[in-house]
């Protein structure tokens, strides 16, 4: 990126941040995000933290997306506050193998009548009121105890292992959930559609719904996710009115895979945007076999459809495929993420970036 282009971007992004992310007034915060977001996702770190925070200072990292375990580490939290680095706590919602181990009956159910599971991806049914109430209580406790700058809602969608969905996948090959008894009853009541009484097997009921009432089924799913986002965001703000709410979005554009962002994932982003402060699409281009330019395409699509503030996330190293992610491709994807209307870039993950001095050097060249 030429110097003049980067200067123009910096000016735009600073203005955007001042408009949409005003200084927070939480008890543990020195400032809001003061400049274009250059963030990293980090799930664990061992003390002492001097070298870690020193490296972030050197690279220009100014925002941290961290796990609940890490934000509950008092020394780490205090050091981040002293350094003026806003903490976004990553809060997984419906991906929860631990809850399913304790209560397998919570599992989302596929159209084949089996639990929604694909390798490490294991989803709880998004319509379970008892489970959502527990997640709301957990989020309230987290905000009260740790005073984060923002909560970052992750896995707040229906089941799909999108990280392994390549461009040539057909819409029909993508999973449909959830067809558990709770969802089927809720769908019938809310959408005013009665399933034929002669259908007994889950697979039969799912097939009938998808063949005869696919649009109503998509609407039901999108409503269910929207209610969850609204309630979680409201709960966080009840504890800390100034807390920001970020939404991790499946990186599918409106028409990708026949509109699967709504029909499969249940993420109707224009409907979700009013409940959150930021939408962060996980634009991990390499794992889904896209070009770096696709990163900006996803951001532009979301921004156009929602009018929301968008913060792109990109990957640092290869995942789920054998081909390496070369340094120049990493740099190109990061540059695409930095293009307006994105207000910055968040790298998944710090662990991968820490292992590559070459990619660190390219990052410094890009943002300084």
Residue for token digits 């509950």? 72
Angle at 129 between CA 125 and CA 130, to 5 degrees: 100
Residue 90: its H or E element: strand 87-92
Other C-beta atoms lying within 10 Å of the C-beta of residue 198: 6
Contact assessment for residue 353 and residue 24, using Cβ atoms and an 8 Å cutoff: no
- What are 346-366's pLDDT values in tens digits? 999 999 999 999 999 999 999
Fill in the DSSP letter of residue 273.
G
Fill in the DSSP letter of residue 109.
B
Q: How many helices (H) does the chain have, and how many strands (E)?
A: 15, 10
- What are 203-247's pLDDT values in tens digits? 999 999 999 999 999 999 999 999 999 999 999 999 999 999 999
Residue-wise DSSP of 220-263: HHHHHHHHHHHHHHHHHHHH-TT-EEEEEE----TTGGGTHHHH
Fill in the DSSP letter of residue 344.
E
Q: How far is CA 350 from CA 65, 97, 279, 316, in A?
A: 10, 24, 20, 8
pLDDT of residue 3: 40
Contact assessment for residue 244 and residue 278, using Cβ atoms and an 8 Å cutoff: yes
Fold held by 3-367? TIM Barrel (3.20.20)
Residues paired with residue 342 on neighbouring β-strands, in sequence order: 310
Low-confidence stretches of the chain (pLDDT beneath 70): 1-35
Counting Cα atoms < 13 Å in the Cβ hemisphere of 36 gives 24
Contacts of 124 (CB under 8 A, 6+ apart): 94, 95, 96, 99, 100, 106, 107, 108, 131
Residue 300: name the closest of 312, 291, 292 by CA.
312
Tokens of 299: 């951001």
Note the Cα 346 to chain centre separation in Å.
11
Q: How far is CA 156 from CA 142, 173, 324, in A?
A: 17, 21, 29
Q: What are the residue boundaries of the structural domains of the chain, listed by start?
A: 3-367
Q: Between helices 214-239 and 202-212, what is the axis angle to 10°?
A: 100
Contact assessment for residue 344 and residue 39, using Cβ atoms and an 8 Å cutoff: yes
pLDDT of residue 368: 82
Rounded Cα distance between 200 and 207, Å, is 12
Rounded Cα distance between 365 and 100, Å, is 45
Residue 190: its H or E element: helix 181-191
pLDDT of residue 23: 36
Q: How far is CA 94 from CA 99, 122, 284, in A?
A: 10, 8, 21
């Amino acid at each position: 990126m030429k110097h003049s282009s980067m200067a123009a971007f910096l000016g735009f992004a600073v203005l955007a941040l001042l408009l949409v992310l005003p200084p927070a007034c939480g008890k543990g915060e020195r400032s809001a995000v003061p400049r274009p977001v250059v963030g990293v996702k980090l799930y664990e770190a061992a003390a002492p933290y001097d070298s870690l925070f020193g490296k972030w200072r050197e690279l220009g990292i100014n925002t941290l997306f961290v796990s609940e375990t890490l934000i509950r580490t008092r020394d780490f939290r205090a050091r981040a506050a002293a350094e003026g680095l806003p903490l976004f706590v990553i809060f997984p919602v419906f991906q929860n193998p631990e809850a399913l181990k304790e209560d397998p009956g919570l599992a989302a159910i596929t159209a084949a009548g089996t639990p929604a599971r694909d390798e490490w991806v294991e989803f709880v049914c998004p319509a379970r009121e008892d489970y959502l109430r527990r997640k709301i209580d957990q989020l309230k406790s987290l905000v009260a105890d740790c005073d984060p700058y923002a909560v970052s809602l992750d896995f707040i969608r229906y089941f799909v292992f999108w990280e392994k969905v390549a461009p040539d996948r057909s819409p029909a090959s993508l999973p449909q959930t959830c067809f558990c008894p709770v969802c089927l009853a809720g769908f019938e009541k809310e959408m005013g559609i009665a399933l034929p009484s002669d259908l007994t097997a889950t697979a039969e009921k799912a097939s009938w719904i998808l063949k005869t009432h696919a649009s109503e089924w998509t609407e039901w799913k999108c409503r269910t996710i929207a209610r969850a986002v609204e309630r979680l965001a409201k709960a966080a703000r009840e504890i800390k009115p100034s807390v920001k709410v970020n939404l991790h979005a499946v990186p599918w554009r409106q028409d990708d895979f026949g509109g699967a962002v709504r029909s499969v994932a249940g993420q109707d982003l224009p409907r979700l945007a009013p409940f959150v402060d930021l939408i962060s699409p996980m634009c991990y281009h390499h794992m889904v076999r896209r070009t770096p330019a696709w990163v900006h395409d996803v951001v532009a699509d979301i921004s156009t459809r929602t009018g929301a503030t968008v913060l792109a996330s990109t990957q640092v190293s290869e995942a789920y495929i054998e081909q390496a992610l070369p340094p120049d491709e990493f740099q190109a994807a990061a540059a695409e993420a930095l293009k307006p209307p994105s207000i910055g870039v968040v790298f998944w993950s710090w662990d991968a970036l820490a292992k590559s001095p070459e990619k660190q050097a390219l990052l410094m060249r890009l943002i300084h």
